[in-house]
Amino acid sequence: MRCSAPLMSLALIAALAIAATPPASAIDQMAGVTMTMVPAEADSGGKMGLNVTLHNHNDRSLTITSLTVQIYNGNMMFSSSSENKMYHINPENGLVPANGSREFAVPGNAPDYLGMCSVTVTIAGILDGDENASIGLFTSSIFLNPNVGGFVLAGVLLLIVPVAIIVVVVVLAVLYFSKKSGPAPAYGLRCPRCGEVMPPGSTHCTRCGKRD
């Protein structure tokens, strides 16, 4: 069965509407719960230090059992590693009181990407009095900056390595030529008769026998 052009247009509009969902919005299944997230910026490939705060506006407490984070841009989804997931949260650590808030520190590093990225936070939790868990989906954004520390380290290495190579080459050259030249031999006077070099301190020529 083929879709007509109007149906495809409606589907596209619906997809764009979903993508344009404002930050920190939740699906209806977790009504009465909102989210704030910090920081708004992080270093690419570095520690993210992500803190997710859930605000429970219900008159019943909420117990969070899992929390996952996914980061993506418009063209690419960055796979969320196990470090960005909090599974099997203990009840005492996941309790969000009625009309209260609770902060969750999410471990893990930022993706190796520069620019604005979208963040999707998915939670599973049980409202007090309910038997079944509910799912909440929240969206926000984070800007990934160049990792200045990594660039500085790379720059230092690029500066140190050539200098170290030059120093090693100079030292080896000095050692080589100093060994090759060696100390200059000590020569004495020449014999006035035959011209033979006489050893220092010698009183007669070893070749012709002439004495001084």
- Residue 45 is predicted with a pLDDT of 84
Residues of the chain with pLDDT under 50: 1-3, 10, 13-14, 16-28, 80-81, 150-155
Q: Burial, 200: exposed, middle or buried (Cβ in 10 Å; 0-12, 13-18, 19+)? A: exposed
- Residue 36 is predicted with a pLDDT of 95
In the chain, alpha helices (H): 5-19, 91-94, 148-181
Give the domain ranges of the chain.
24-146, 147-181, 187-212
- Pairwise CA distance, residues 159 & 11, whole Å: 55
Find out whether 111 and 78 touch, Cβ atoms under 8 Å: yes
* Topology annotation, domain 24-146: Immunoglobulin-like (2.60.40)
- Residue 23 is predicted with a pLDDT of 40
CA torsion angle 142 145 147 151 (round to 10): 170
Nearest to 69 by CA among 77, 82, 80, 78: 80
Q: What is the pLDDT of residues 161-195, one digit of tens each?
A: 777 788 788 888 777 777 665 555 555 577 777 87
- Residue 78 is predicted with a pLDDT of 66
- Pairwise CA distance, residues 200 & 187, whole Å: 7
**DSSP-based three-state secondary structure for 67:** strand
- Pairwise CA distance, residues 94 & 64, whole Å: 5
- Residue 113 is predicted with a pLDDT of 84
Interacting residues of 165 by C-beta distance below 8 A, sequence separation 6+: none
